[in-house]
Amino acid sequence: MRAIRWKDGVVVALDQSKLPKKLVYLKMGNYRQIASAIKAMKIRGAPLIGVAAALGLALTAYHSKAKSREGLFRELRRTEALLRSTRPTGVNLFWALHRVMEKAYWTHGDIEAVKKTMICEALKIVEEDVKLNLAIGKNGEHLLENGDVVLTHCNTGLGTVEYGTALGIIRAAVKSGKKIKVVVTETRPQLQGARLTTFELKHDGIPATLITDSMIGYVMANKIVDKVIVGADRILKSGHVLNKIGTYTIAVMAKMHGIPFYVAAPSSSIDLKTNVKNVVIEQRDPIEVLTFSGERIAPKGIRALNPAFDVTPPRYVTAIITEKGIFKPSKISLAT
């Protein structure tokens, strides 16, 4: 199941906020719609956000009526600026925008050549993402043994174009004939684990058991879980991993219980420049915590925190799996 597609100047993407109840496809003809979908987490997952942003630039190029190179680039810069502003923490967004824009800047020739190159580059990013995930799966699958129960957090399948990062490793292990069971954290506040990961595992026929985020300690202390694999929204040179809120707690608990904690991500999630002190953790609207399905769970007047991500220091990370291989967190710069 592809999370996103390009079709003749239209980007078609699964509305991930509606799953598993409804299978709704968004049809987006301009970058503003893409930006809105990213902000509202209808399109989500760091790799997929990068892909969607690249396609957003492609949409602007495709539909532009600019007569001059300057005119086109004005539109492109406006597109890039809006897309950049959607979500601050995942780095693939900035990586993908930069990559497509660089391609545009370096393309000489007429406007049509620039447009064509940009669209090509964006579509290349789409296809690469699928291949990267297959490579991550291949690199990581031997970490899982027959009979393993693997805990995963949030959703790393539909958060990519196809196949997934952490989920790609689980899928590769199953494909190679190993019996794997998955424990899925529901991942409040947006319930990506409960809504999306179970949906994908069910589709693949991989046994899945849902737990609340509060059951992490219980499943580890009771030896229900053998390994943890999660994705990443940004990995720093220092080996710090930024990922969905709750990841840090899982990593610490895994360490305390002697359970390996693996992170799976494409090398486009690696950020060699930013220091952990300067990383921006997106703070989303507290209403996501105060409500469920639009219904209030806490009384009016109560405040809430809603950081979308947390930071896991490298000492809690057993290894990071990218399309280039398996790396100790301290050696992650070798993966770029």
What is the token pair recorded at 4?
């996103």
What distance, in Å, lies between the first and last C-alpha atoms of the chain? Answer: 28
Which one of residues 167, 211, 241, 319 is an interface residue with its own copies (CB under 8 A)? Answer: 211
For residue 210, which of 222, 224, 221 has the smallest C-alpha distance? 224
The reply on whether position 73 binds its own copies by CB under 8 A is no
The reply on whether position 217 binds its own copies by CB under 8 A is yes
Which CB, 126 or 219, lies closer to its own copies? 219
Query: Residue 333: how many CB atoms within 10 A of its CB?
Result: 14
Which one of residues 71, 218, 328, 336 is an interface residue with its own copies (CB under 8 A)? Answer: 218
The reply on whether position 185 binds its own copies by CB under 8 A is yes
- What residues between 227 and 286 interact with its own copies by CB under 8 A? 244-246, 248-249, 252-253, 256, 286
> Residues with Cβ < 8 Å from 49, sequence gap 6 or more?
38, 43, 86, 87, 90, 92, 93
Which CB, 68 or 293, lies closer to its own copies? 293
Catalytic residue among 129, 204, 226, 233: 233
Distances (CA, A) of 126 to 5, 51, 132, 171, 259: 8, 6, 10, 20, 34
Which CB, 176 or 306, lies closer to its own copies? 306
| Distance, CA of 140 to CA of 266 (rounded, Å) | 12
**In the annotation, is 233 catalytic?**
yes
What is the token pair recorded at 187?
């991942």
The reply on whether position 41 binds its own copies by CB under 8 A is no
DSSP letter string over 285-299? -THHHHEETTEE-S-
Strand partners, 296: 291
Which CB, 85 or 275, lies closer to its own copies? 275
The reply on whether position 166 binds its own copies by CB under 8 A is no
For residue 44, which of 204, 197, 267 has the smallest C-alpha distance? 197
Residue 206 CA neighbour count, 13 Å, CB half: 29
Which CB, 69 or 255, lies closer to its own copies? 255
Which one of residues 14, 219, 241, 254 is an interface residue with its own copies (CB under 8 A)? Answer: 219
| Distance, CA of 211 to CA of 194 (rounded, Å) | 8
Which one of residues 1, 272, 302, 334 is an interface residue with its own copies (CB under 8 A)? Answer: 302
Total chain residues near its own copies (CB under 8 A): 55
The reply on whether position 93 binds its own copies by CB under 8 A is no
Considering the complex, what minimum distance in angstroms separates the CB of residue 278 from its own copies?
15
Catalytic positions are 233
Interaction site with its own copies (CB under 8 A): 20-21, 185-189, 191, 194-195, 198-199, 201-202, 207-219, 221, 224, 244-246, 248-249, 252-253, 256, 286, 289-290, 292-293, 295-299, 301-305, 307, 310-311
